[in-house]
A = this chain, B = another copy of it.
Amino acid sequence: MTNPHHIILLAHGSSDRRWCQTFEKLAEPTLHAIENSTIAYMELAEPSMDTIVAQAKAQGAEQFTVVPLFLAAGRHLRKDVPAMIDAISEEHNVTMRLADPIGYNPQLGLAIRDVVQEELAKAAV
């Protein structure tokens, strides 16, 4: 069954290629598990949300959920990203929903705990 939604994993973006590679790697399990999911960058790197929406629309997608790969919401997520989403959804005539930043989900706090426990095990060697 084709997933009716397109998922955009939105990272901030950086001119530093290593920074983007970290997010590409973070996105891998999601891209592997979820059909019609892609990563996009807010600024300083490609692809942009606009590029992704245009491509997906050309293939029939009309509904998008944008999941911010941000731990917390600052000015970007409160102001800039909603404004971008308004402009892009109007331009391409699609529906876009902005989800909470990933850091609002308790799963992240549990993953952080597991990571720290691994660090502690290393420190104890």
**What residues make up the interface of A, taking CB atoms closer than 8 Å to B?**
3-5, 7, 9, 11, 14, 16, 18-19, 22-23, 25-30, 32-34, 37, 63, 65, 67, 69-74, 97, 99, 101-120, 122-124
Contact = CB atoms under 8 A, between A and B. Distances in A.
A115 B102 contact: yes
Given A71-B23, A74-B19, A7 B119 contact: yes
B71 A9 contact: no
Contacts of A27: 109, 112
B67 A115 contact: yes
A52 to B, nearest CB: 15
B71 A113 contact: no
Contact of A19 (B67, B73, B116, B123): B73
Contact of A72 (B4, B5, B23, B105): B23
Contact of A74 (B16, B26, B67, B101): B16
Contact of A26 (B18, B33, B108): B108
